[in-house]
Amino acid sequence: MSESTVSYWHKTARVPHFPRLDKNLICDVLVIGGGITGVTTAYCLAQKGEKPVLIEAGHLCDGTTGNTTGKITVQHGIIYSNILKKHGRSFAKSYLDSQSEALDFVRRQVRDLRIDCQLTESPSYIYAENDEERKTIVEEFQTAKDLGVDAFFVESPVFPPGAVGMAGFQNQLSFHAVRYVSALAEAAVKMGARIYCDTKAVKLIDGEVSTVLCENDVTIEARHVVMATQYPLYDGPNLFFTRLYAKRAYGVAVEAQRDWPEGNFINAGQLTRSIRTHVEDGKKILIVVGEGHPTGRGEENEQAHFDNLVTFANQLAGVKTVLARWSAQDYETPDQIPYIGRIGDRQNIYVGTGYGKWGLSSGTLAGIMLSDLVATGSCPYEALYSRRRADYSTSLGKTIAEVALPIVELVKSKIEATESAAGIRQGEGRVIRFKGQRAGIYRDFDDTVTILDISCTHMSTTLNFNDAEKTWDCPAHGGRFSVDGKLLEGPPKNPLKVLFRGKYEDIAVRLE
Ligand SMILES: Cc1cc2nc3c(=O)[nH]c(=O)nc-3n(C[C@H](O)[C@H](O)[C@H](O)COP(=O)(O)OP(=O)(O)OC[C@H]3O[C@@H](n4cnc5c(N)ncnc54)[C@H](O)[C@@H]3O)c2cc1C
């Protein structure tokens, strides 16, 4: 995350500090990842009397959980009508019931632990901007109502501007996710969980007792391993690289000039606009998130995504001050349903991922389900969220297209033309030819130039420069690297090779 893109949530929260693991460990349950999925799992396990160990590569909420809109709702865009068509009524109903349980869980923990995370109850709206979208929303509204959602329809909404129909789901939530997860982590530790930060897992060797190797040569042996890392560290027989699609999105928090109606809003259109209100010290803050695109395939100038959101916020309520801007990524599955459960034939390795930007509720649900699976061997909703469900055959057309896209990218990125590095500006990254090979160059603000081999260490796709975050992003499976080649997130396991690092003046002549 670059300094200029720190989320509003990170700017306004104190994340508890936990030490680095510096010696080998044997434990019953290891949870990898300190976002909402990992922390909820550890918390639920501790509530059941287990003594889980959680390791996190950076700090808690460093991943997507620290960079969300902060809605926790069962209104997940257009989803119930899609699940109904693909999987039938019982799956659609289970999806609603399970997500409702996640909301109730959050309500209970906030009440019982007295968590100060501004949990707010209001309707969640999905709105249409044209007749086609309106039809889709009416269908979604009718399906949701039939499944038991307390829903209503607004024929002529006054907000957001341009809305031509809107379905509202009553009693949905929004909160400060970083404060919530931090409090849950502290409560888990009080009940006997151990949390280690700055401890990155690099390899999982499966077995009756699995062995996890960490970056600093520390080894953890565990009977159960929960992967709460978004893209799983260990694939087993799942071929997750053909089943999970990384998508980035952008967020801004603004102080507005005019008032606006409260509630959570999201549009039904392709270019997402997600809106909510957050109240901090009695002051209303407008949060707008959207501009989603597959990772590594955004606008050439990624700053444009932020500008578009600020323009949109200006239309909503007039922008007085931009308080924060950020971006993050999440993974989608072919049929919009996450994978939560056992990873494969191994009974003791588990995963929670593929939340499609609804992981504050689905990650909470994963924590509940995975802790049950570990502690008792079974849990409700296993079939719905299983990686064994028929997600290919039931959404065939879409799946083939989506699976093919990353494969096309693997080829396409290798045949695109390269540019010269002459006149590269500070803060700019480009793909060039260096010593006869394709490479990525970045000129830092202190004039340091770093040239990297930008073949992704996952499957050799050529990376694209992300101008907003100053990162190298993989258009195929969402791997991301810093401008000095360090692995930031996604499926790759190794950093990028540095081909040159030095001062601009030392290499400028060679770049002409
Ligand atoms: C812009 C945006 C807005 C969103 N808004 C909402 C919203 O309003 N409501 C909603 O429900 N959902 C929302 N989502 C989705 C939701 O935020 C995510 O699905 C959810 O936070 C995922 O939580 P997680 O714990 O699974 O993953 P993360 O929060 O990403 O946590 C994974 C953690 O694992 C760590 N890790 C990774 N690899 C390793 C390793 N090898 N060793 C150790 N640690 C490792 C990472 O550092 C990270 O901290 C949004 C997503 C985006 C992108």
Q: Residues 412-429: pLDDT tens digits?
A: 443 343 556 777 888 888
pLDDT at 345: 62
Share of the chain above pLDDT 90, in %: 69
Encoding tokens for residue 71? 């809605």
Q: Residue 438 pairs with which residues in a beta bridge?
A: 433
Task: Please tell me the distance between residue 33's alpha carbon and the centre of ligand 1 in angstroms.
Answer: 9
Q: Which of 142-151, 298-307, 427-436 has the lowest mean pLDDT?
A: 298-307
Counting Cβ atoms within 10 Å, is residue 49 exposed (0-12), middle (13-18) or buried (19+)?
exposed
Q: Which of 77-91, 239-253, 262-276, 400-414 has the lowest mean pLDDT?
A: 400-414
Q: For residues 263, 266, 272 and 278, what is the CA-based torsion angle, rounded to 10 degrees? A: 10
Instruction: Give the model confidence (pLDDT) of 45-57 as tens digits.
Output: 999 999 999 999 9
Highest-confidence segment of 44-58, 245-259, 282-296: 44-58
Q: What's the CA gap between 462 and 26, in Å, rounded?
A: 39
Ligand 1 mutation target, pool 360, 489, 494, most atoms within 8 A of CB: 360
Q: What's the CA gap between 276 and 261, in Å, rounded?
A: 9
Q: Which of 352-356, 385-389, 401-405, 460-464 has the lowest mean pLDDT?
A: 401-405
Q: Which residue has the higher pLDDT, 270 or 295?
A: 270
Q: Which of 93-107, 178-192, 229-243 has the lowest mean pLDDT?
A: 229-243
Encoding tokens for residue 420? 């010269």
CATH class of 428-511: mainly beta
Q: Name the CA radius of gyration of the chain, rounded.
A: 23
Mean pLDDT of 330-337: 92
Residue with tokens 């960079």: 67
Cβ atoms 291, 249 nearer than 8 A: yes
Task: Please tell me the distance between residue 66's alpha carbon and the centre of ligand 1 in angstroms.
Answer: 7
DSSP string, 188-211: HHHTT-EEE-S--EEEEE-SSSEE
pLDDT at 30: 98
Q: Is the pLDDT of residue 509 over 60?
A: no
Residue with tokens 């500090």: 17
Residue nearest to atom 2 of ligand 1 (CA): 68
The residue ranges of every structural domain in the chain are 1-70+176-244+333-394, 246-328, 428-511
Residue nearest to atom 49 of ligand 1 (CA): 63
Residue nearest to atom 4 of ligand 1 (CA): 68
Encoding tokens for residue 13? 């929260």
Q: How far apart are the first and last CA of the chain?
A: 31
Residue nearest to atom 22 of ligand 1 (CA): 359
- The single-letter code of the amino acid at 505 is E
Integer CA distances (angstroms), 295 to 21, 94, 374, in order: 32, 30, 33
Q: Which of 126-130, 218-222, 295-299 has the lowest mean pLDDT?
A: 295-299
Residue nearest to atom 48 of ligand 1 (CA): 63
Cβ contacts of residue 319 below 8 Å, gap of 6+?
254, 255, 256, 257, 310, 313
Q: For residues 212, 215, 216 and 220, what is the CA-based torsion angle, rounded to 10 degrees? A: -10
Q: Can you list the positions of beta strands (E) in 33-139?
A: 53-55, 71-72, 120-127
Q: How many CA atoms lie within 13 A of 315 on its CB side?
A: 13
**Ligand 1 atom showing the smallest separation from residue 202 Cα:** 41
Residue nearest to atom 21 of ligand 1 (CA): 65
Task: Please tell me the distance between residue 36's alpha carbon and the centre of ligand 1 in angstroms.
Answer: 7
pLDDT at 190: 98
Integer CA distances (angstroms), 237 to 205, 244, 275, 370, 419, in order: 14, 14, 39, 19, 40
Does this model's pTM top 0.75? My answer is: yes
**Ligand 1 atom showing the smallest separation from residue 36 Cα:** 25
**Ligand 1 atom showing the smallest separation from residue 328 Cα:** 53
Task: Please tell me the distance between residue 503's alpha carbon and the centre of ligand 1 in angstroms.
Answer: 36
Q: Which residue has the higher pLDDT, 237 or 181?
A: 181
| Among the listed residues 230, 177, 270, 248, the one whose alpha carbon sits nearest the alpha carbon of residue 468 | 248
Fold (topology level) of 246-328: Alpha-Beta Plaits (3.30.70)
What one-character DSSP code corresponds to residue 455?
B
**Cβ < 6 Å from ligand 1: which residues?**
32-38, 55-58, 62-65, 67-72, 200-201, 228-230, 233, 249, 251, 289, 328-330, 355, 357-361, 363
Q: Residue 221 pairs with which residues in a beta bridge?
A: 26, 211
Ligand 1 mutation target, pool 53, 212, 229, most atoms within 8 A of CB: 229
Task: Please tell me the distance between residue 330's alpha carbon and the centre of ligand 1 in angstroms.
Answer: 7
Centre a 10 Å sphere on the Cβ of residue 450 and count the other Cβ atoms it contains. 20
Integer CA distances (angstroms), 448 to 377, 452, 463, 471, 507, in order: 54, 13, 20, 15, 10
3-state DSSP: the chain helix, strand, coil percent, rounded to 5? 30, 30, 40
Reported residue count of the chain is 512
Cis peptide leading into 160, omega within 30 of 0?
yes
Q: What's the CA gap between 40 and 181, in Å, rounded?
A: 8
- What is the average pLDDT score of the chain? 89
Q: Which residue has the higher pLDDT, 186 or 300?
A: 186
Q: Which residue has the higher pLDDT, 507 or 453?
A: 453
Angle at 171 between CA 117 and CA 328, to 5 degrees: 50
pLDDT at 260: 96
Task: Please tell me the distance between residue 63's alpha carbon and the centre of ligand 1 in angstroms.
Answer: 5
Q: How many CA atoms lie within 13 A of 118 on its CB side?
A: 21
What one-character DSSP code corresponds to residue 496?
P
Angle between helix 89-112 and 177-190 (nearest 10): 70
Label residue 269 by pLDDT band (50, 70, 90): very high
pLDDT at 392: 54
Label residue 29 by pLDDT band (50, 70, 90): very high
Q: What's the CA gap between 275 and 369, in Å, rounded?
A: 29
Give φ, ψ of 194 to 5 degrees.
-115, 135
| Among the listed residues 12, 29, 44, the one whose alpha carbon sits nearest the alpha carbon of residue 109 | 44
Cβ contacts of residue 463 below 8 Å, gap of 6+?
296, 440, 454, 455, 456, 472, 473, 474, 475, 479, 481, 496
Task: Please tell me the distance between residue 135's alpha carbon and the centre of ligand 1 in angstroms.
Answer: 32
Q: Is the pLDDT of residue 408 over 50?
A: no
Task: Please tell me the distance between residue 158's alpha carbon and the centre of ligand 1 in angstroms.
Answer: 33
Task: Please tell me the distance between residue 233's alpha carbon and the centre of ligand 1 in angstroms.
Answer: 14
Ligand 1 mutation target, pool 1, 175, 330, most atoms within 8 A of CB: 330
Residue nearest to atom 46 of ligand 1 (CA): 63
What one-character DSSP code corresponds to residue 462?
B
Instruction: Give the model confidence (pLDDT) of 455-505 as tens digits.
Output: 998 888 888 888 877 889 888 778 899 999 999 888 888 899 999 888 887
pLDDT at 420: 67
**Ligand 1 atom showing the smallest separation from residue 249 Cα:** 1
Angle at 302 between CA 245 and CA 414, to 5 degrees: 60
CATH class of 1-70+176-244+333-394: alpha beta
What one-character DSSP code corresponds to residue 240?
G
pLDDT at 397: 42
Residue 304 three-state SS = helix
Share of the chain above pLDDT 70, in %: 91
Q: What's the CA gap between 32 and 324, in Å, rounded?
A: 29
